[in-house]
Amino acid sequence: MPSADKTKRMKEVRDEIINLKISPLYSYRTENNYFPVIGEGSHDAAVMFVGEAPGKNEAMRARPFCGAAGRVLDELLAFIEADRKDVYITNIVKDRPPDNRDPLPEEIVLYSPFLDRQIDIVQPKAIAALGRFSSSYILQKFGLESLVSPMSRLHGREFFGKTSYGDIAIIPLYHPAAALYNSSNREVMRGDFLILKKYLQKFKKFDK
């Protein structure tokens, strides 16, 4: 898909989310002068990171993973010699839930079609699912619901599904915030991130 078409389609997704008045999170967003968080990075990325929902910092700046957890994500990307510009980063739910609570099932149902469209636009070779909500949704989306289990069993493993454009790898990972709560998780997360390196190298696109 030409880059111009990808940009056009991503803008359509953005505009629909901005005006998603049927969302129970829309009034919370407008009352607090927050922004929806659509996504950030390359529309041609080989690896797409999918979190669960934006936090306060993200909603204030309209950028995914720009707070403390984002700094951990940046460190992990640097560990595998990658940068935000090399990947695409987004969430299932595009608006901040109150008090940073977990997204509700009905919110995931409402917002997930936008994520599905983003996947179709970017056409990544691998999806890095950050945390249990994202891992559960992505596995179910690709018909792997029987594999859904606690993150302690899923993290760092590769699963494979099929899309309209070819095969895709699904790699559940601990959410970067896990390193904030327990510093010992950082080394585990580094080991898990090494799996992504081959996708970034194998499918890296060079400008001609």
In a domain, 183, yes or no: yes
Burial of 180 (0-12, 13-18, 19+ CB in 10 A): middle
As given in the structure block, the two tokens for residue 81 are: 């010699």
Report the pLDDT averaged over residues 77-89.
95
The answer on pLDDT for 150 being more than 80 is yes
The answer on pLDDT for 208 being more than 50 is no
In a domain, 84, yes or no: yes
Residues 173 and 76 sit within 8 Å (Cβ to Cβ): no
pLDDT in tens, 6-42: 999 999 999 999 999 999 999 999 999 999 999 999 9
pLDDT class of 203 with cuts at 50, 70, 90: low
Angstrom distance (rounded) from CA 66 to CA 54: 9
**Number of domains making up the chain:** 1
Residue type, 183: S
What pLDDT score was predicted for residue 1?
81
In a domain, 155, yes or no: yes
In a domain, 69, yes or no: yes
Q: What is the pTM of this model?
A: 0.94
Angstrom distance (rounded) from CA 60 to CA 77: 23
In a domain, 207, yes or no: no
Q: Report the relative pairing of strands 88-91 and 126-130 from DSSP bridges.
A: unpaired
Percent of the chain with pLDDT over 90: 91
The answer on pLDDT for 205 being more than 50 is no
CB atoms within 10 A of CB 117: 15
Q: Which domain holds residue 121?
A: 3-34+42-144+151-202
As given in the structure block, the two tokens for residue 169 are: 């790898």
Query: For the domain that residue 48 is a member of, what is the CATH number?
Result: 3.40.470.10
In a domain, 193, yes or no: yes
pLDDT class of 154 with cuts at 50, 70, 90: very high
CB atoms within 10 A of CB 36: 25
What pLDDT score was predicted for residue 149?
95
In a domain, 208, yes or no: no
Residue type, 198: K
In a domain, 106, yes or no: yes
What pLDDT score was predicted for residue 207?
39
pLDDT in tens, 105-145: 999 999 999 999 999 999 999 999 999 999 999 999 999 99
